Amino acid sequence: MKLVVIGGDAAGMSAASQARKRLGPDQLEIVAFERGHFTSYSACGIPYWIGGAVTERAKLIARTPEVHREAGIDVRLRHEVVTIDPDRRLVIARDLAGGGEVRENFDHLMYATGATPVIPEWAGVTASGVFGVQTLDDGAAIQEWLASDPAPRTAVVIGGGYIGVEMAEALLKRGLDVTLLEKSAQPMGKTVDPDVGELVAEAIRGQGIKVVTEAHVDSLETEGGRVRAVVTPGGSLPADIVVMGLGVRPNTALATAAGLPVGPTGGLRTDRRMRVEGTDGIWAAGDCVESRHLITGEPVHVPLGTHANKQGRVAGINLAGGYATFPGVIGTAVTKVCELEVARTGLTEKEAARAGFAYVTARVESTSRAGYYPGASKMMIKLIAERRTGTLLGAQIVGKAEAAKRIDALAVAVWNRMTVEEMTALDLSYAPPFAPVWDPVLIAARKATDAVHKAM
């Protein structure tokens, strides 16, 4: 048998590696096409490489093409797949480095093309200095630009989601004067509730980053082939570098052209085993697919490396004759904004209302350690619980060091449909260097329980 993989990052290479563990080269030939220069890398780590927390690009690469080849996977870099023919079981790729065309037949096809950045019409300029942050090649291009002569001094980051706020911090650390533009009322408006988003905005401004909310961009000004400013209704903002953080959409152009099914989110539709619906031997995983939200039951597009690796693993096991499933997602995510940690799981208030839930909320402030222990810092936890049952629907955390990873305990509670009253008795660890005697999670659960009882 032959497996052809389209996309050499998390989902594609996880699938290839799992298939190879179960079937040797004499049982399964594996060819992987990757249009970039790298395989199995952490795109999430790019802002930290730009900002200097990660000192070497190589540290972001989990497995090089050489490592995959030693495992019996024929990795072909700088090859872009341009055609999929499901009926003829054929893939056609263009050799971007050497020229020419490559054709490969397949018994199994792994579609792992990831996502593409959202780029509005006004960003379609030919000037240098305008970047997305999607691949390791993008990160390398930004590093090269920051080291160019004359060195950039002003930066505008457009979009206040995860990548936007992380890149704003990274460029600030590189010594640039940074402005963050966000079309919503607060940064991270699609991720957290407005009251939490305002805390994020305060933290960003406190570091010296100019935050402009409810912002609209008209165009980009250029001069001599370089970007010079971002034009808004309020005037022009000087910019020697512009970073686009407007989100991503599933990269399904090839799939659509091949007649593969795409869902309402724009992602490929798969079953629980990551097989593309209505096909035989065609699999998909990662940022190009849509997943099922375990609370609402609705299809969602959540582009995260955690899901990509899990889904790729599931696909690889199944195409090699095993059995595994990917049940869905609950929207758990975490990021760091300057000194502030921000985390969420489950539904926000807006998402809960859209799904038809009646709910109550509870918001508490506590500390990461016992208040008397050195290094204790404040944190805020917000819980959203179903009004009648008290089932935990979602949670958000904002705080400094040691705050955000508490979201994992809350994610487990959401995943297992625990009520906030059940959570009040959770046997969480305690010692003064790690938590107060009443952990903030327990305090929040108690307050949410009171809110549920009052609403009955």
Q: Which domain holds residue 97?
A: 2-115+248-319
Instruction: Report yes or no on 225 lying in a domain.
Output: yes
Where does 89-215 have alpha helices with state H? Answer: 136-146, 162-173, 194-206
Measuring CA to CA, how many Å separate 117 from each of 53, 172, 243, 415?
A: 24, 23, 11, 30
pTM for this entry = 0.93
Q: Given pLDDT bands bounded at 50, 70 and 90, which one contains residue 126?
A: confident
Q: Both 19 and 168 in a single domain?
A: no
- Average pLDDT of every residue of the chain: 95
Domain-terminating residue out of 191, 222, 244: 244
155's torsion region: left (phi>0), alpha (psi -120 to 50) or beta? beta
Q: What tens digit of pLDDT does each residue of 64-74 get? A: 999 999 999 99
The side-by-side arrangement of strands in the sheet containing 340-346 is: 333-337, 340-346, 392-399, 378-386, 359-367
Instruction: Report yes or no on 358 lying in a domain.
Output: yes
Residue entry with tokens 């090649």: 137
Residue 444 has pLDDT above 90, yes or no: yes
Q: Both 375 and 428 in a single domain?
A: yes
Q: Given pLDDT bands bounded at 50, 70 and 90, which one contains residue 152?
A: very high
d(CA 413, CA 391): 9
3-state secondary structure at position 179: strand
Instruction: Report yes or no on 325 lying in a domain.
Output: no
Instruction: Report yes or no on 430 lying in a domain.
Output: yes
The count of residues in the chain is: 456
d(CA 312, CA 305): 10
Q: Which two tokens stand for residue 452?
A: 């549920």
Average pLDDT over residues 159-164: 93
Q: Which two tokens stand for residue 23?
A: 């079937």
Measuring CA to CA, how many Å separate 22 from each of 8, 33, 336, 404?
A: 19, 21, 38, 37
Looking at 44, 140, 212, 355, which residue is catalytic?
44
Q: Both 40 and 130 in a single domain?
A: no
Tell me the residue type at 316. G
Residue 135 has pLDDT above 80, yes or no: yes
Q: Both 97 and 126 in a single domain?
A: no
Q: Is 338 a catalytic residue?
A: no
Q: Both 16 and 80 in a single domain?
A: yes
